[in-house]
Structure 1
Amino acid sequence: MTAVIADDEPLLRHYLNRTLSEVFPQIDVVASDSDGKSALASIKKEKPDVVFLDIRMPGLDGISVARGLKDLDKIPLIIFITAYDEYAIQAFEEHAFDYLLKPVNEKRLIKTCERIKSYIYAVNSEQDRTDPTSVKAIERLVARIQHPTNNYLRWIKASKGEDICLVPVDDVNYLKAEDKYVSVYTRYGEYLIRTPLKELIKQLDPDLFWQIHRATIVRVEAIERVKRDFTGKLYVHLSTDNVKLAVSRNAQGLFKQM
């Protein structure tokens, strides 16, 4: 696989190049550019599989670069990088595969790399089951990954101290209503939002998140086991941080087949 990195910060370009070589050695960075026009030229010349694209750059911004790729025969996976989370919606409108906030967290970058690997595996599987030369088969797969039929939340805008963060839903283990806020517990820390749980549950994929209590929503994959105490009350135990969450009587039916 090949990649192009485009960012006006030399240190970030160096960091991405070095970190990718460590965590994703199968990918070869074929160009590293500091402005939008150079990035667009490199992408058209090199035809990379992946582009790590800053949004605010001299010349052309990253959104404009992405728009300039729509006529290519081979459109790369675009991972936008920016310090400004307000660009998230616009980025995904331009078919972003992922979105990284500066400063780029290594664990988050590794997760992006895992998503790329999963995508490539899925493409290869699709090719195995269809004509390997079928462009339409691959286009259908890309459409399913980048534009799922149900528009469930992919990001949660939350606060942590004085910072406003864009938290990937994939990183959330559980959410809990506490006083006037909802706490968002992830593998990387705790965040706060004001959106009520009754509104959040409508926006989350019901196959991935269950409301187990009027004050608690949990990611199904984070559940390690379900256990009753001596009074008969049901609890879920998560696979991280020894967390135990109560299950309401109304929600116990969710676990009948577990």
Structure 2
Amino acid sequence: MTQALTALIADDEPLLRHHLKSVLGDVWPELDVVASESDGAAALAKIHALQPDVVFLDIRMPGIDGIAVARALKEMEMVPVIVFITAYDEYAVQAFEAHAFDYLLKPLHDKRLIQTCERLKNQVRLCHAGQGQSTAGAIASIERLMQKMQSPMNPWLRWIRASKGDEISLVSVDDVIYLRAEDKYVSVYTCEGEYIIRMPLKELIKQLDPDMFWQIHRATIVRVEAIERVKRDFTGKMFVYLAGGHGKLAVSRNAQGLFKQM
């Protein structure tokens, strides 16, 4: 008989802990949640005592935070698979993407949790078969994550939380071609299609690197690297033509000075 997998949840929000445990029971009934803790010190003690296969770990907790808990796991013979839980933070997400960790964003979305559970099943299976990340490798990844989290933060937006249909996605600003203000929202255009955000364009432009994004019209922001050429039509109106056949965008009279040195 296969030994049941175990998990521990550590988060200072009681409702989130309850919701996460409930959804895990629905989507991964074989996973036994052996403990649910509200602070880092209690979580660390239970992890050492119970040796769970998976730990759902909140980044920000009173006392010892989630990063410190993860770092302390170097003392364990077998490091559990870690899933960080965090409120939306562009820099944190960028760090998680670069390493062998999964993460969940608050508020939790069931579809994302289901995807995480599928990844976890495979990852834990590999670890039990001796093919997963070694303890030394896991510790090294935790140390690299710590260095990334402690380094000076990039002041410019790196990720945009946007919706596409009923789904919420994290769109890297590196994938954005242009943004256009519509009636009550802003459309974000990428090679993968169109996304929607509710932030006003005038607030969004303040968070974007001015060397990477130019506001070429009252309702339009374009990624500079996406511009293939600039041309005037027979009436004298200026347009930017986007690389990859993504069309053209009008340039307002006030913004034409941006292209004097192009």
Question: TM exceeds 0.5?
Answer: yes
The aligned residue for residue 183 of structure 1 is 189
1:139 and 2:141 aligned: no
- Post-superposition Cα deviations, 1:116-140, rounded to whole Å, max 9, x if no partner, equal 123235456xx4xxxx6xxxx4336
- Of residues 155, 166, 170, the one that matches 1:167 is 170
Normalising by structure 2, we get a TM-score of 0.54
Please state whether the residue corresponding to 2:104 is helix, strand or coil.
strand
Q: How do 1:155-234 residues align onto structure 2 when only pairs under 5 Å count? A: 157-160=159-162, 167=170, 177=178, 182-184=188-190, 190=196, 196=223, 198=225, 213-215=244-246
**Kindly tell me: are residues 69 and 197 of structure 1, through their superposed partners in 2, closer, same or farther at Cα, counting changes over 3 Å?**
farther
**Kindly tell me: are residues 88 and 188 of structure 1, through their superposed partners in 2, closer, same or farther at Cα, counting changes over 3 Å?**
farther
- Of residues 99, 110, 114, the one that matches 2:114 is 110
Cα separation, 1, equivalents of 2:161 and 2:103? 18
1:30 and 2:34 aligned: yes
The aligned residue for residue 9 of structure 2 is 5
Please state whether the residue corresponding to 1:117 is helix, strand or coil.
helix
User: Residue 97 of structure 1: CA displacement?
Assistant: 1.6
Cα separation, 1, equivalents of 2:16 and 2:70? 20
Maintained 8 Å contact 2:159/2:170: yes
Cα separation, 1, equivalents of 2:98 and 2:104? 15
**Kindly tell me: are residues 89 and 12 of structure 1, through their superposed partners in 2, closer, same or farther at Cα, counting changes over 3 Å?**
closer
- Post-superposition Cα deviations, 1:32-51, rounded to whole Å, max 9, x if no partner, equal 00111001111111111111
Q: What 5-or-longer segments of structure 2 have no aligned partner? A: 142-157, 182-186, 213-222, 227-242, 248-262
**Kindly tell me: are residues 215 and 73 of structure 1, through their superposed partners in 2, closer, same or farther at Cα, counting changes over 3 Å?**
farther
What's the RMSD between the two structures over aligned residues? 4.4
User: Residue 107 of structure 1: CA displacement?
Assistant: 0.8
Cα separation, 2, equivalents of 1:50 and 1:197? 43
Maintained 8 Å contact 1:182/1:197: no
The aligned residue for residue 206 of structure 1 is none
**Kindly tell me: are residues 87 and 75 of structure 1, through their superposed partners in 2, closer, same or farther at Cα, counting changes over 3 Å?**
farther
Which shifted more, 112-121 or 174-183? 174-183
Cα separation, 2, equivalents of 1:49 and 1:55? 19
Maintained 8 Å contact 1:197/1:215: no
**Kindly tell me: are residues 143 and 66 of structure 1, through their superposed partners in 2, closer, same or farther at Cα, counting changes over 3 Å?**
closer
The aligned residue for residue 14 of structure 1 is 18
Structure (1 or 2) with the larger CA radius of gyration: 2
Which shifted more, 59-68 or 86-95? 86-95
User: Residue 183 of structure 1: CA displacement?
Assistant: 2.3
Maintained 8 Å contact 2:90/2:159: no
Quote the sequence identity (%).
46
**Kindly tell me: are residues 97 and 142 of structure 1, through their superposed partners in 2, closer, same or farther at Cα, counting changes over 3 Å?**
farther
Which shifted more, 174-183 or 51-60? 174-183
Please state whether the residue corresponding to 1:4 is helix, strand or coil.
strand
The aligned residue for residue 146 of structure 2 is none
Q: What 5-or-longer segments of structure 1 have no aligned partner? A: 148-155, 200-211, 217-258
- Post-superposition Cα deviations, 1:88-131, rounded to whole Å, max 9, x if no partner, equal 1586399662121111111111111111123235456xx4xxxx
Maintained 8 Å contact 1:4/1:43: yes
